[in-house]
Every structure is written in C-alpha cells, then in structure tokens.
Amino acid sequence: MNADTPVLDAAFKGPVGNFNLDVAFKAPLTGVTALFGASGCGKTTILRCIAGLHHLPGKLALGDRLWQDDTANLFRPPHKRRVGYVFQEPSLFAHLTVRGNLNFGARRAPRGNGAAPAVDFDQVVGLLGISHLLDRAPARLSGGERQRVAVGRALLSEPRLLLMDEPLSALDRSTKDEILAYFEALQRELNIPILYVSHDIAEVTRLADRLVVLSRGGKVAEGSVGEVLERLDLQPMTGRFEAGVMLTATVKGRDEAFNLTFLDHHGQTLTIPAVDAAVGDIIRLRVRARDVSLAVQPPTGISIRNILKGRIVEIREEANTAFAETLIDLGGGRLRARVTRHAVADLKLAEGMPVYALIKSITFDRRSLG
C-alpha cells in the first residue's frame, strides 16, 4: 500500500465480552478490505465502532476526516460519518416496496445547492439485478434478493465507506456465488471503499483486495490477500480444508471445441473451463492447497492439464498428523500444496528443490474465479 494512498486508519482498545479488543489497522479507500476470523474474534465490534454505533477508546480517521480521537474528546455520531451499513439480516422496511426501501436510502444522501445524486438509482438497480423487483414487498423476496436490496439502499445513501457484516452468512453456497458476482460488479463500477467482514475464506479470496486476520480481539496479520494467504503459519486461522492462494493470470486464448480458456501466468499456461472473458482480461484464480500435487520430474501420460514449473521455498510439517504444507515459487506467483509427510520423505522434498506443481483444470469452478 503506497504511503500516499488515502486510508481508513482505525485503532480501538477495550473490553468486549470475555476478551479485550486491541486492534489497529489501515485500509485503502479503494477496493475491498476484508476483516477475517472465526466467530467471536471481534470483527462485528470493529465495524460497529467504525460506524459510531459502539464506543471503545481509540482513534479513527477516514482520509483527512477525523471521526474519533479520545485523547481530544472527539467522537462523531453515526449520522455525521456517512457510513453505509449492511447487516447479516437485510432489515428491510416491511411496509415499503423495494422501490420504497431504495428511495429511503436515497433520501438519506447529503444534498447541497440542488446537486445531482452522486450515485445513480438506475445504475445501482442495474448492477444489482433488481429492476424486476421494484414493485415487490420484502416478504415476497428470497434471502438473496433481500440482501441485494439492502446493499442498494446502503449505496444510494451515498456513503463514504460501505460496511458489510457477513452479508452472505445466512445463504446457501449457490446463492452466495450468485450474489458475489453482483458484488464484484459493484466493486468494478462504483468508487466506494468496502470493509467486508467474513469467516468464509472462499468469499474473502474471491472478493477482497486486502486482508486483516483477527483472533480473539487481536490482529494476527495484515496485507494483500495474496501475501497473507501464502503464509503457512496462518493455517490455523485460514483453515486446512480451504487453505490456498490466489493467482492472477491473463486470458490468452480459448478452445471452442473443448470449451476451455487458456491463461498466461508469468509465461506458464493454465487451462481452465471456458469463462466469459476476452483476450487480455485479468482473472483471479483461487487454488486450494489440497488441489495441488507435486512431482520431482516432468510427468507424462496423465490427464492433468496444468503442470507448472516451480521451486520449493518452504516446507512446514504438522506434528502428530500425516500432513505437510509446502510453498512453491512459480516465478511470479506462489502456490501452496498440501501433501503427506510420507511424500516429503519419499520424494526427498527440500527447500530450494525444483518441482512440478499439478492442478486439475476441473478444480477451477465458478467459486474459484474472480
């Protein structure tokens, strides 16, 4: 993060339930920053402090706007912070239609000297795919539709910062995948920074640019999503089953006959099921450690399409288990591979050793792409 980049600068310290919150972090006022950690680690409390709904001692600034400084006895109330807040439950007004709920958000937007709205109603409705719902009552919406309307209402209030507190936690996986596509569109089209709370590493990897990892009220790690996910020491927080990394690749072609897309990753080719992207487009790929195998020689006669040259930079064996985590440098990106300790011994794997990383093309489903 560039030193000149405007940031949300937050620091809070005080008792929360059965532990003390003591967290300080910075989030750029662009893109999505995720607060990630297990339930009960303090994520929601941090969001409520930023919104002004909860007061813990500390300091909070959004760019050059100081919202809280307890040393100066300064605490701006929520209505003076211009924050949009999307809760776990949509909390729509039952007596209003979808249009009425959206207009409620628009009426909360600041207006001066007859200025036109900074956020366009039709654009938000289009990006969220809710134009056909405008005359419906909330009771006639699905859970995913209600959440999209709640996001639209928050956006139309023209916030300086959008806070999203596990907005997909009550939804099934297929509905989550659908809504994440809408969130990605919002991120591309609207210049509103988002602070996103989640305990789902798949959500975070697909959506966020920056990650703050929390545990029992403290900050464990902070940095770009790619940097944080590569750290093997964070596996207890990021989880063994879903642990992995994020790669960035460029679309370089497509095979219409076999419905495949070819990507360039720093000079090496990745083959994935066909995606709706043009040559030159940038795609983010989430690769789970458990989906990567290793070979010490170039394999032949196998069905796996993705065989990437790399070098082992770290091996971390897990005591009292059968497993080990390895980190592979691909010459521009890094992969994690979860293998057995027996494989490490049998193949004589060691740091600095050249290897081939094998990834099945079918592992790149919709949930793996961003």
Same domain, yes or no: 181 and 259? no
- The predicted pLDDT at position 111 comes to 63
What pLDDT, on a 0 to 100 scale, did the predictor assign at position 93? Answer: 93
Check residue 364 and give its pLDDT.
81
Q: What number is the average pLDDT over the span 197-214?
A: 89
Contact 58, 13 (CB under 8 A): yes
Cβ atoms of 58 and 27 within 8 Å: the answer is no
Mean pLDDT of 266-284: 93
pLDDT tens across 296-344, in order?
999 999 999 999 999 999 999 988 899 999 999 999 899 999 999 999 9
Total domains, the chain: 2
Q: Strands of the chain (E only): list them.
A: 7-16, 19-28, 32-36, 58-62, 65-69, 74-75, 83-86, 161-165, 194-198, 210-215, 218-224, 244-255, 260-265, 268-273, 282-288, 292-295, 306-317, 323-329, 334-340, 354-359
Please give the pLDDT value at position 38: 86
3-state helix, strand, coil in the chain (%, to 5): 30, 35, 35
- 350 pLDDT tier (thresholds 50, 70, 90): very high
Q: Average per-residue pLDDT in the chain?
A: 90
Check residue 319 and give its pLDDT.
85
Asked if 117 and 250 sit in the same domain, the reply is no
Residues 334 and 214 in one domain: no
Residue 324 and residue 189 share a domain: no
213 and 357 part of one domain: no
146 and 31 in one domain? yes
Which uninterrupted H or E stretch holds 181?
helix 173-189
Could you tell me what percent of the chain has a pLDDT over 90? 65
Cα angle 216, 12, 224 (rounded to 5 degrees) comes to 70
At residue 117, the pLDDT reads 61
- Per-residue pLDDT band at 41 (split at 50, 70, 90): confident
What is the C-alpha to C-alpha distance for residues 345 and 81, in angstroms, rounded to an integer? 57
Residue 268 and residue 218 in one domain: no
Question: SS3 of 16, please?
Answer: strand
- pLDDT above 80 (res 368): no
Residues 53 and 191 in one domain: yes
Q: Which of 81-95, 225-239, 344-358 has the lowest mean pLDDT?
A: 225-239
Cα(243)–Cα(320) distance, integer angstroms = 19
pLDDT tens readout for residues 286-296: 898 999 999 99
**In this structure, is residue 172 part of a structural domain?**
yes
CATH number at residue 212: 3.40.50.300
Tens of pLDDT, residues 106-120: 888 876 555 556 778
pLDDT tens by residue, 174-189? 888 888 888 888 888 8
DSSP run (H or E) holding 30: none
Structural domain range at position 329? 245-368
Kindly list the distances between the CA atom of residue 226 and the CA atoms of 91, 142, 195, 209, 285, in Å, as whole numbers in the listed order: 34, 34, 17, 8, 11
Angle between helices 121-128 and 98-107 (to 10 degrees): 130
Structure tokens of 28? 């750029």
Region at 188 (left for phi over 0; alpha for psi -120 to 50; beta for the rest): alpha
pLDDT above 70 coverage of the chain, percent: 93
- CATH number for the domain spanning 269: value is 2.40.50.100
Q: How many residues appear in the chain?
A: 370
pLDDT for res 147: 92
